[in-house]
Structure formats: structure tokens, C-alpha cells
Amino acid sequence: MDAAGNTGRLLYKIYRALTYSLTPLVHLHLRWRRRRGLEHPTRWPERLGRPSLPRPSGPLLWFHAVSLGEGMAAIPVIKRFVQCRPDLNILMTTTTLSAFEVIKNQLPSSVLYQFSPLDTPTAVDTFLDYWKPNAIMILESELWPNLIMGSSRKGISLALLNARVSMKSFRLWSQPVLLPLISLMLSKFSLIIPLSTMQAIRFQILQAPPFIINFSGDLKYAIECDASNGETGSIEDLKGQLASRHVWMASSIHRGEEKVMLGVHKALIQAYPDLVTIIVPRNPQHGLEIAQELQKEGQNVALRSQHQRIMPGTQIYMVDTLGELRCLYRLSPVAVIGGSFFPGLAGHNISEAAAAGCAVLTGHHVGHFSHMVKEMQRLNPLSIIQVSSTLELEEAIMELLNDTKVLDARRMAAKQAFCALSHGIIANVWNLLNFHVLRVSLRES
């Protein structure tokens, strides 16, 4: 064990030296990303660990997520902390610009929000020395050596929430060359809450200490739709525009999948001339491109970003905006979750549609969301429909639109499975963090 630990420390020294030497190139790359609009135009120095807000006095907890999905999963936990421990300061960081634009409007006003530092020694040390967090709650799979080892060196408690390791990363990290470093990093955590039993097994194989692994349920079930009054009014207005129409939604669509969804749309509209297909691409720019192509073909497309209304002749409603999907699911009785119809894709959160009471369909390429599909189908086999082809998808939606009893049964099954799986998750996470992290980190502050 000592030999493995020594090897891990040697590997970390090599990583730290390498990232230190590459820091000038990393800075150039960051500036290149800013020029391309991939980083915030004025707040990009935060990625170098340079703060844009004053650090308040008193204990501070740091929540970190890479992008929008993980960040949204953290918000209910943050709200519980604000409610139960108003004496604590909360800092949230994300990496992507899209996450920043959405999450900044969802957080409690007392929460500080910054972009996360790059994993270079200078950026991480600058960040930690300024913010001096008592504990860090990392979401899902953000295992960066400088961040983890630097935090441990400064006596900062670490927790990994909704922890997961992709199969690709697991195969890489379990290789003899990297395993000592990964094992060393995982040993620095006070708590790991895995996404599923399979994820727990992977962390144990990667030599995470068994006593720090505890279960709470998947945080992505703990969703909420806190639309502002304006957004709520917008959704209700859309409901009115769709009231007399047949509707289905294709959400989280990746490039290429629009061909599948538009093919299904063309088939369905033959049977239902009043049909409206709601398309929600992952990238708003992709949505604009699809709309422009359809308009060239003479199709009537309404763009959400332009606040265009759904008129009697509108067949496609294009949602080229971010951060509204959870509430938009309330518009449609049928939801097809994209990112799942081509090899190489890894699915998206199906529980959001289930929570809204949609009949939920997905492809088979669902990656780490496979545990969610299996859990929901185990609770109720009618809760999720998985299809293997465009024809199967078309037939499944046709059946739902044709038979209200089948549609109602599917919607009820999805809602019931979601409710069963979401119960008590935030309370479980709070209790685990309070016991394993807060007691120690705040006692030592």
C-alpha cells in the first residue's frame, strides 16, 4: 500500500510539473476561447482563479459542477443548505458559459457564483487561497488532480456527489499506470455518493475507501421548475395556443437526430394535419439552423427566441433557448428524449419529462442514464418506451396519439416511477453531508 501511495504521489508530482509548464499555453487557449465566444467576455479571468466578488467572512462551502445538467442537480442541495444553515456562505462554480447563463437566475440570491478555475497549479492555488473553502462538494466526475490534492493539502474536506465514472474513463483509470494516482485522489475524499450500485463498484475497484461510499439516490430525480412569473405566464400562454392541437416533443436533440425527428413528424402529420412538433435541440444555434432549413422548404416554423406565436398553420415549434426544458415538458403529453438514437451518444435526463407527466420515449444509446431507465422500468414497465429505429419511434407515438387509454397509462406510469425514485433524496444527501463533511470541516475551521 505504501509503494502504491508513493507511486501515486510521484505521478501527481509529474502531473503538477506538467500542468505548471503548460500554463502559458493554457492561458493562450483560454483567450482563444474567449474570442470565439466560448468564455465569458468579461469574467473569463475567473478561470485563472482570479475572483470578481469579495469573500464574505465566516465559513464557506464550495459546490462545483462542470455544466448545466450537473449544476441544476446541485441547486436543490444548495437550497437545503441555505434553509438549514443560513450561517454558512455558499459558493457555486461551473465551467461552461451555457451553465452560467441559466444557473445564475436559479440560485438563491445569497449564493456567490463564479466560473471554476482551470486545473493548473497557479489557478487552483489562487482560487483556494482567496476563497478558503471549508469543504468542497464536487458533482459527478470532476476529478482534477491539482484541485483535489491542493484542497487536501490545505485541510479542505472533499465530497463527490452523484459520483460516476464513464466506462471509457474507468478502463483508462484502472490501468496500472494511472491507478495509483486515481487511488490517491479518491483517498482524499470524506464522502462519495455514487449514482448507482454499478458506479459504487467502479469506485471500489478504483480503490476508493469503502467506508466513504454511501447511497442517497440520483440527484437528477430531485428536479424543480422555478420559473419566474414571466416564464410561467409564457408557458401557460403556450398551453393555450396548443390546446386544440395534437402535440409531441423531441428534446435534447443532437446534430443528426433532427433528421429522425423530422422524418417522424412528416409521417405523423399525414394522420394528424393539426399536429405540432416541439423540437428542443441541445444547442440553440442548431435550432436556428434547423428552422432556417425548414423555412426554405416552405414550412411554417415558430421560434421561441423570437417569441413567435403558434398559429393555425404552424407545424414546428423550435425552442432555440436554454434552461426552459423542465417547464416546457408541461406542454406535451409525449416526450422523446434525444442524445440516444445514434452510437456514441450517451442519453439525457429522462426524469424531467416523467416528472411533468409525459409519456417518455428514448433510444437505446443512453450511456450512464441506463441505470435511470432500468430503475424506472423496474418500478413500472410502462414508464419508459425504448425504440431501436425511426419506424419503431413513429409507430410508438402513433399508438399514443391514437389511444388515450394507452397514453394515460404511460403518463401515469412515468409520473409514479419518478415520484417513487425522487422521494427523500435531498434529505438523504443533506444528512450524509452533515455527518461526514460538515461536522469535521466546521469543527476544524
In whole angstroms, give the CA distance from residue 232 to residue 306.
17
Our answer to whether residue 39 is catalytic in this structure is: no
Task: For residue 305, give the nearest of 281, 337, 277 by alpha carbon.
Answer: 281
Mean pLDDT across the chain: 93
299-344, pLDDT tens digit by residue? 999 999 999 999 999 999 999 998 889 999 999 999 999 999 999 9
377-404, pLDDT tens digit by residue? 999 999 999 999 999 999 999 999 999 9
Q: Mark 25-51 as b/e (b = at least 16 C-beta within 10 Å).
A: ebbeebeeebeeeebbeebbbbbbbbb
In whole angstroms, give the CA distance from residue 229 to residue 60.
31
Helices (H), 104-211: 121-131, 145-153, 167-173, 179-186, 197-205
Task: Quickly name the fold that domain 229-422 has.
Answer: Rossmann fold (3.40.50)
- Residue from 70, 140, 257, 258 carrying the catalytic annotation: 70
Architecture of domain 2-215: 3-Layer(aba) Sandwich (3.40)
In whole angstroms, give the CA distance from residue 221 to residue 238.
26
The backbone torsions φ and ψ at residue 163, rounded to the nearest 5 degrees and listed phi first, read -65, 135
| Chain-centre distance for alpha carbon 413 | 24
CATH 3.40.50.2000 domain residues, the chain: 229-422
In whole angstroms, give the CA distance from residue 182 to residue 160.
14
- Mean pLDDT for 114-122 is 97
Q: Which pLDDT score, from 0 to 100, does residue 323 have?
A: 85
CATH 3.40.50.11720 domain residues, the chain: 2-215
Residue ranges with strand state E in 124-275? 135-139, 157-163, 191-194, 247-253
**Residue 229 banded pLDDT, cuts 50, 70, 90:** very low
CA atoms within 13 A on the CB side of 268: 30
30-59, pLDDT tens digit by residue? 999 999 988 999 999 999 999 999 999 999
- Mean pLDDT for 214-236 is 74
**Residue 226 banded pLDDT, cuts 50, 70, 90:** low
The reported pTM is: 0.90
**CB contact set of 179 (below 8 Å; sequence gap of 6+):** 4, 173, 206, 207
Q: Which pLDDT score, from 0 to 100, does residue 230 have?
A: 47
**Residue 415 banded pLDDT, cuts 50, 70, 90:** very high
